[in-house]
Amino acid sequence: MQNSLELKITDLSRGGAGVARTPEGEVIFVPLTLPGDRVRVQIVDKQKRYSQAELLEVIEASPERVDPRCSVFGRCGGCQWQHIPYPLQWKTKTAGVEHALRRVSLTSPKRPEEFPADLTWGYRNRIQLRGLRTDLGFYARRSHDLVPIASCPVARPEINKAIDSVRTEGQELPQQYKVEVEVLPDGSVAKSWNSRHANLGFRQVHDQQNGKLVNWIRENLTAGRPLLDLFGGNGNLSLELASQMTRIDCVDMSTPPVRPESTPENFHFHRSGVLPWLKKKQRSTEAVEISAIVDPPREGLAENTGEILASLKQLGVTEVIAVGCDPDSWARDLSHWTKKGWKLQKIALFDFFPQTPHIESVALLRL
C-alpha cells in the first residue's frame, strides 16, 4: 500500500495515541496502539516535527494489549483506550499531569494523591447519542458519520436498558436527532431530545469518582469560613459542604433555573458570569478569610486569569481549590496563581473517564 510504513510503538502520549520514532528521529503518533505493538500505518498528516498516522494493521501485538469490550471500539469517537490495561491508562494520565506541570516549571510539593477509578466500566451516568431512522449511535472518530450501537460498555446499565426504547421513539422523528440519556440521582432514566444542555445542566459523568472529589475538598477546605464556588454549576462540589461553611455563594452562568427546595439556607445560587459577579461583590467589612473552589471549563481561566485573581485577593480569599479537566490549561492557571504569591500545598488526581486519556486535576493553594 502506498505510503504505508512499519513502526514499533515505544510510548503512549497523554493525548491518547501510541508514539513511534523513525530512525531519522521523526515522531509519529498512531491512535489505537500501545507500547510494544509492531504496526503498519499510513501517514495522514505531516507536520515539521511530527506526523499523525492511521493504524492499518497490528503486525505483532504488545503483550500488554487487551481485548476491547466494545464491538465498535476504534470506529466510535467515544473511547480511545479500551485496548490498554487500566493500570497503564492511569500511569499515563498521571505522568501527563506531571509533564504539564514541568512545562510551566512547577512541581508538586508532595507526591500527588491518586484516585484511580474502582469502576472502570458501566460508570457513565449520561451519554449523548445521535440517531437517524433505525440507526442510533455515536459519531465516528473525527467525523460526523453515525456509528450505530446496540449498547455502550462505559455507560451505566440503566442507560443500556433504555437504548432500545430510545431507538424506537427516535425512529418517529423526521430528521437526524441528538438525544441525551441520563440516569437521574433517583435512579430513573431521562431522555432529552435535541436540547443544547443536559437535563440537569453540567454534571460530572462518574458518580463514584465525583464522590471522592467532594470528600477530598471537604477534608482540605478550612471549615467555618464563607465559601465561593466559582463555575459551580448546580452546586455539585459545594452543596454537601453547607453544614461546615458559614455561607456558600455558588456562581455559574447556568445555575438551576429554580432554587431546589432541598437547598440549605446558607447556600446561595447566582446565575452570572464569574468575573462580573466578583467585580460587583463588596468586600466584607469584617476581617474574614474566605475560601474558594474554582472549576472553570476546559480552557481554564484563560484571558480572565489576571482579573479573577486580583478580585479574589481583594475580596479576602486566602484558600483556593483549583479544579481542571485539561492538565495544560490547569497547570497554566496554577503558574499564574503561584506567580501572584499563592503557595501550592498539594495536588490530587481523579479518574472521571476510564477508557479515555482524560484526567481531572485538583490543587490546594493558600495565600
Ligand X SMILES: C[S@@+](CC[C@H](N)C(=O)[O-])C[C@H]1O[C@@H](n2cnc3c(N)ncnc32)[C@H](O)[C@@H]1O
Binding footprint of ligand X on the chain (CB under 6 A): 202, 204, 231-233, 236-237, 252-254, 273-274, 295-297
Closest distance between ligand X and the C-beta of residue 97, in Å?
A: 17
Nearer to ligand X, 92 or 204 (CB): 204
Closest distance between ligand X and the C-beta of residue 254, in Å?
A: 4
Neighbours of 123 (CB within 10 A): 22
Nearer to ligand X, 30 or 228 (CB): 228
Nearer to ligand X, 121 or 202 (CB): 202
Nearer to ligand X, 204 or 311 (CB): 204
Closest distance between ligand X and the C-beta of residue 273, in Å?
A: 4
Residue, CB closest to ligand X: 233
Strands (E), the chain: 4-8, 11-12, 18-21, 27-30, 38-46, 50-60, 113-115, 126-132, 135-139, 146-148, 177-183, 189-193, 226-230, 247-252, 267-271, 290-294, 317-324, 343-350, 360-366
CB 129 within 8 A of CB 179: yes
Query: 276 — phi, psi (to 5°)?
Result: -60, -40
Amino acid at 192: S
Nearer to ligand X, 138 or 350 (CB): 350
Closest distance between ligand X and the C-beta of residue 262, in Å?
A: 17
| Helical packing angle, 86-103 and 327-339, nearest 10° | 40
Closest distance between ligand X and the C-beta of residue 86, in Å?
A: 24
Closest distance between ligand X and the C-beta of residue 297, in Å?
A: 5
160-192: burial string, b at 16+ Cβ within 10 Å, e else:
bebbeebbebbeeeeeebebbbbbeeeeebeeb
Nearer to ligand X, 55 or 362 (CB): 362
CB 141 within 8 A of CB 150: no
Bridging pattern class, strands 27-30 and 50-60:
parallel
CB 183 within 8 A of CB 159: yes
Closest distance between ligand X and the C-beta of residue 202, in Å?
A: 4
Nearer to ligand X, 25 or 257 (CB): 257
